[in-house]
Structure 1
Amino acid sequence: MTDEQMEQQVRQVLYENMIQGHNGGYTFHYTKPSPGTYPFQYFWDTCFHVFILTALGDHDMAKKHIRSLFLLQEPDGFVGHIIYWKRPFPARATDVFQLRPKSLLRLTQPHMTALVQPPLVAEAVQRIYRCSHDTAYVREVLPKLKAYYDWLHRNRDFEGEGLLSIISPYESGMDWKASFDPVLGFRKGRGDWRLFLKVMWLEMGNFRRGYNLERLYEQDNFIVKDVAFNTIYAQNLQALAELCEAVGDPEAGKYKKRSDQCCESILKYMYNEADAAFYDLAGQRMEQLRTATATIFFPVVLPNIPRRISEAVLQRHLLHKDGFSVPYPIPSLSVREPAFYPGESVYIWRGPTWVVFNWFMHRYLLHKGYPEEADKLLASVRKLISQSGFREYYDPFTGQGHGAQGFTWSGLVLDMIKGSRGYK
């Protein structure tokens, strides 16, 4: 498939999934990640769609998506990870308990969940600004961005170390991530109904406690500092600082300082020198969860991580592919882990390849002197889409597509293609 053909197909998938409408006095505009499986507006999915839209050159549509994402923002800055614009009930049983109790009284009106997702939105707005140079738009959304990141800082940095905690596996964006198994008390390897019940019990507990964050932290049932979540947080604080500078906002330094502290704590608490890997942290004691998921090398993209450490991680796990050597990289879990399963399953993120991992690492490798490895990641994604279409995830050995069809995330291949051409 040529670049032009790929772009045409990405555009078709994205616009076929696009929704606009009115409800409760709001005019919303977003893209469904897939036609039936994921019909709502999701937080970090919306950010992915912005990257795809800007790669397509549709900056105005990207702006509409961000505006829609912040329409229900609460006065304290909070934005939930799913926004229900018209359908009153969630699509999955587990999502029912992700609503705040007060939301049950207004299900027919637009409402949000009580959970968050990886905070990618500042980079999404940064991308819009870099493409459009629209400072008026930055001034419009900057107060909302600042309020959102300030909420995260106040409410999820429990220890004051600059690291954010998640209170549910769903907040990581990688729902059934295998590194969470020990925290949930699941030791059976591959996911099954017992893992489902443990997650459901956790969600019910959060709901019963009204998502009171102080109580949840004290009980410490699921307080996890996810590597990817915090890497994205650090990156986006830097992006937020750049947006502040672009319009002369004096708080740029505050967000740079928070980003630096987050980077320092990632290095201090998450890095395991013996394994040359960054691990998620569990509980108030911040114990490393030594499971080799694909996020073990995410922090290498941060400028504050020493080059010797970045090179050690890349050489061990990505370049030499220790546990990640498959025909279609990057698998979401090392093939050596007991939980690894490459096929289709309800318990996702435990083996298959997701385009988002390749997208996340591609630009870094391209600009840090690893063009050959960057090209391999792009070539793998192109081949997956050419033979299996736009699917949610793929078998890392055969390339067979699984999960949702017409899945928009795979459209990130276009941003990778543009990135390989020097597109910013």
Structure 2
Amino acid sequence: MFRWRTALAAITVGAAVLPSPPAVASESSGNEAASPYADVLDLQGVPTSALPGSAGGDVSDINVFADRGAWHAYALPKAGDTASYGAFTGPLYLAQEYPWWLSAGFSRLNLSEAGHPINLADARDPAFSSLPGALRQSFEVDGLRVVMELRYASNRTALVQATVENAGQRSRSISAGWSGTLLRPDAGPEHDAPRLSATKDGVAVGFAKVRETNDYLTDGTERFQVAHADPVTTTVTGDTYTTTNDAPLVLGPHGRRTLNWTESYTFTPAEAAADAPAARRALAQPWRTVAEDDARWHGYVAAATHGVPPDRRRLAVKSAETLITNWRSAAGALKHDGITPAISNKWFNGLWAWDTWKQAVGTAVFDPALAESQIRSMFDYQVTAASATRPQDAGMIPDAVFYNDPAHGGGNWNERNSKPPLASWAVWSVYQRNGDLGFLREMYPKLAAYHAWWYRNRDHDHNGLAEYGATVDPANATAENKRLAAAWESGMDNAPRFDAKLGATVVDNTSPTGQVVGSSLAQESVDLNSYLVMDKKTLAQIADRLGDRRAAQAYRASAASVAAAVQRTMFDPATGWFYDTELGTGRRLTARGKGIEGVIPLWAGVATPGQAAAARKNLLSPNEFDTRVPFPTTSASSPYYQPTGYWRGAVWLDHAYFALAGLQRYGYGADSAALAGQLRSNAAGMLGNGPLMENYNPATGAPMNSRGFSWSAAMLLALEHPQRT
């Protein structure tokens, strides 16, 4: 049995290696249990159709692994599904914006001796394991030990290795090969998009140009390619291929050989050319690729688990793995690396503003450089006064950006609204992790412009309290369009407080010259104005750090003024909670029920001590927010409470974080710790190997909606690694 020697012995992460001669790429003990972080996520599963999701749903039912910002991902064979043994599930590739399975297992390893197949399905106790940074499967069959491992060599290429060891005393000559079959989309032009072809060193899949805006987007330049280190011969028949190693593996007693190949997915020839050196290096020096990858993941794990109680360290590693799997590198219209909400969801493979701000806070715990990049990915599209289409929105950050902008057929790009102003908090959080003063200097004027936009375009009556709203945009042609965009701008789309049936309406906003510059909901929102107070406080900290004392003083004075207005107008003493208020009259909108937005004044330090004490009673009441999984988006007492409602009951971990941090801020640390423990214990799968979900049923703890949700992961890391406020 082989033994790994670790380059960094402090933590056993996955498969550390030492440099080896080219004949043997790596060694593996196959002892997956040696890692304390093996299988923090269940990544086993095999698709039966190209379209992810049960019964054609929008959310995949298989958890996957990706790394380095790659646009293709993999899973493990499912134990007992013997037909899938010897292949890593997938890949799941992104047709620019939409996930599809290319194969059940594109590169299935086949072994034989003297013409007789060695069937991996006959292996004794096969093992399938996910490790931080790698997937592994191992088999003991017919006197051989076979260990396969997949990891990423670059943002476009995965390195796959199969080590075959002769466990006996006689020499053996083993023939090796691979096979795979395409999973085609069922219908439409996308059915005919992928096509197989043999190459001199393996096999490739080309893609036809298909522009199905809501389902499948390719330009005809995409390519998935498998390249082998050893000479091979490939035959293609329809949608199936076979590749054979030209020379057998000659194994002496207890001898071993490692087969190395790469699997690359690129969008353009330029990308393929840029990635080629990394792919060639992975094949020429795989042991170095593995050692470097291991060192990076050791760093991730060490940072994510530092200071975390032992019983929560696996959850911290799961959170880091979730964020890394959703990392997408720059491609198409995306100019910087960013983190998408969830590769599992058909619609979630772009970058959203407030997702990005929260994700950056969590990512900064273990990779501040990646956190900086994701913040830049949104500011790449900050509107300026030079904009040809919306100069009145100078400073605004769009809601969502994708691989395709509207000029290139993108249907998911959204500039009809922005998202809550948490960017300064994200920037300052990253700075606290890495001390990058240059990043502060770069971002400060952009943050200031974004902050100013809210008061120029979203303060209808110019009283210093802002409203959520909508931009001047062709998609905002009607009052209902504008109301919907304004609800989206809050991020709490279908919350009762934004329901037209409950009285939510919009009004237009004009410039001093009478030009319509946008619309506002006819209500001033408590969370928005509390976020803006936090934004002012954070901008003051940044200004102080950069030596702009006058600006810092002005931001602090403004923060105090807005905080006083929130305290005075938005807190209802009768119910002990904060509410939105009606524009013009100032009437508190209590009839729409208590919503979790009422905790934001605690998180932002806006509430008075007495108001925080009253809010605490609601947070600790089983009839309000102390449900089985605490912090439903609508309180349990509300007439609009629906445990499965998206923003009408479901528990979202960002607002759970805000509530827990708010309790801590006001001295209720014991309550915060107890509620956090209750959340972790009762949210299904969170402390086990289940995926981190988009949200959870507050009454039962059942997982809901998207699997592997990034801001859930980020906020769990932020809870474990609090920062100064």
Q: Tell me if both proteins adopt one fold, taking TM over 0.5 as the criterion.
A: yes
How far did residue 357 of structure 1 move?
1.8
How big is each residue's C-alpha offset from its partner over 1:297-351, in whole Å with a ceiling of 9 and x where there is no partner? Answer: 3313344532122212222x113454223111011111122211112x5xx1101
Of the three residues 318, 327, 335, the one matched with 1:27 is: 335
Q: CA 1:60 to 1:105, structure 2 compared with 1: closer, same or farther past 3 Å?
A: closer
How big is each residue's C-alpha offset from its partner over 1:281-303, in whole Å with a ceiling of 9 and x where there is no partner? Answer: 23333332112111223313344
For structure 1, the residue ranges without an aligned partner over 5 or more in a row are: 89-103, 188-197, 207-211
SS in 2 for 1:216: strand
SS in 1 for 2:643: coil
Could you say which structure has the higher strand fraction?
A: 2
How far did residue 122 of structure 1 move?
0.3
Aligned length: 376
> Partner of 2:94 in structure 1?
none
Of the three residues 371, 379, 399, the one matched with 2:701 is: 399
Of the three residues 664, 670, 673, the one matched with 1:366 is: 664
> Partner of 1:413 in structure 2?
716
> Partner of 1:83 in structure 2?
401
SS in 1 for 2:398: coil
Query: In the aligned structure 1, how far is the partner of 2:468 from the partner of 2:396?
Result: 14
Of the three residues 606, 616, 619, the one matched with 1:314 is: 616
Of the three residues 447, 464, 487, the one matched with 1:169 is: 487
> Partner of 2:650 in structure 1?
352
Larger Rg: 2
Query: In the aligned structure 2, how far is the partner of 1:259 from the partner of 1:367?
Result: 17
How far did residue 393 of structure 1 move?
0.9
Asked if 1 retains the 8 angstrom alpha-carbon contact of 2:523 and 2:582, the reply is yes
How big is each residue's C-alpha offset from its partner over 1:13-58, in whole Å with a ceiling of 9 and x where there is no partner? Answer: 111111122335x622211111124221111100111111122x21
Query: In the aligned structure 1, how far is the partner of 2:526 from the partner of 2:541?
Result: 23
Query: In the aligned structure 2, how far is the partner of 1:314 from the partner of 1:294?
Result: 12
Please list, as runs of the form range in 1=range in 2, the aligned pairs for 1:121-270 lying within 5 A after superposition.
121-167=423-469, 168-181=486-499, 184-186=500-502, 213=516, 216=519, 222-249=521-548, 250-270=550-570
SS in 1 for 2:705: strand
SS in 2 for 1:311: helix
Off by >6 Å, runs of 4+ in structure 1: none
Q: CA 1:108 to 1:364, structure 2 compared with 1: closer, same or farther past 3 Å?
A: closer
How big is each residue's C-alpha offset from its partner over 1:46-82, in whole Å with a ceiling of 9 and x where there is no partner? Answer: 0111111122x21111111111110111112111111
Query: In the aligned structure 1, how far is the partner of 2:563 from the partner of 2:660?
Result: 21
Query: In the aligned structure 1, how far is the partner of 2:361 from the partner of 2:407?
Result: 35
Query: In the aligned structure 2, how far is the partner of 1:20 from the partner of 1:61?
Result: 10
User: 2:323 corresponds to which letter in structure 1?
Assistant: L
Q: CA 1:286 to 1:231, structure 2 compared with 1: closer, same or farther past 3 Å?
A: same
Alpha carbon RMSD of aligned pairs, Å? 2.7
Asked if 2 retains the 8 angstrom alpha-carbon contact of 1:352 and 1:395, the reply is yes
1:379 to 2:715 alignment: no
How far did residue 423 of structure 1 move?
7.9
Of all paired residues, the percent bearing the same amino acid is 23
> Partner of 1:59 in structure 2?
368
Q: CA 1:407 to 1:149, structure 2 compared with 1: closer, same or farther past 3 Å?
A: same
Could you say which structure has the higher helix fraction?
A: 1
1:47 to 2:375 alignment: no
How far did residue 111 of structure 1 move?
6.0
User: 2:637 corresponds to which letter in structure 1?
Assistant: R
User: 2:354 corresponds to which letter in structure 1?
Assistant: W
Query: In the aligned structure 1, how far is the partner of 2:457 from the partner of 2:438?
Result: 30
Asked if 2 retains the 8 angstrom alpha-carbon contact of 1:279 and 1:288, the reply is yes
> Partner of 2:282 in structure 1?
none
User: 1:69 corresponds to which letter in structure 2?
Assistant: M
Q: CA 1:32 to 1:134, structure 2 compared with 1: closer, same or farther past 3 Å?
A: same
Q: CA 1:46 to 1:225, structure 2 compared with 1: closer, same or farther past 3 Å?
A: same
SS in 1 for 2:418: coil
Asked if 1 retains the 8 angstrom alpha-carbon contact of 2:602 and 2:666, the reply is no
Q: TM-score, normalised by structure 2?
A: 0.49
Asked if 2 retains the 8 angstrom alpha-carbon contact of 1:79 and 1:112, the reply is no
How far did residue 258 of structure 1 move?
2.2
User: 1:319 corresponds to which letter in structure 2?
Assistant: L
SS in 2 for 1:251: helix
User: 2:566 corresponds to which letter in structure 1?
Assistant: I
Asked if 1 retains the 8 angstrom alpha-carbon contact of 2:530 and 2:606, the reply is no
Tell me whether 105-114 or 228-237 shows the greater mean CA deviation.
105-114
1:72 to 2:390 alignment: no
User: 2:664 corresponds to which letter in structure 1?
Assistant: L
Asked if 2 retains the 8 angstrom alpha-carbon contact of 1:324 and 1:334, the reply is yes
How big is each residue's C-alpha offset from its partner over 1:144-167, in whole Å with a ceiling of 9 and x where there is no partner? Answer: 111111111211122222211112
Query: In the aligned structure 2, how far is the partner of 1:373 from the partner of 1:43?
Result: 31
Q: TM-score, normalised by structure 1?
A: 0.81
For structure 2, the residue ranges without an aligned partner over 5 or more in a row are: 1-39, 41-310, 385-393, 470-485, 510-514
Query: In the aligned structure 2, how far is the partner of 1:362 from the partner of 1:123?
Result: 17
> Partner of 1:195 in structure 2?
none
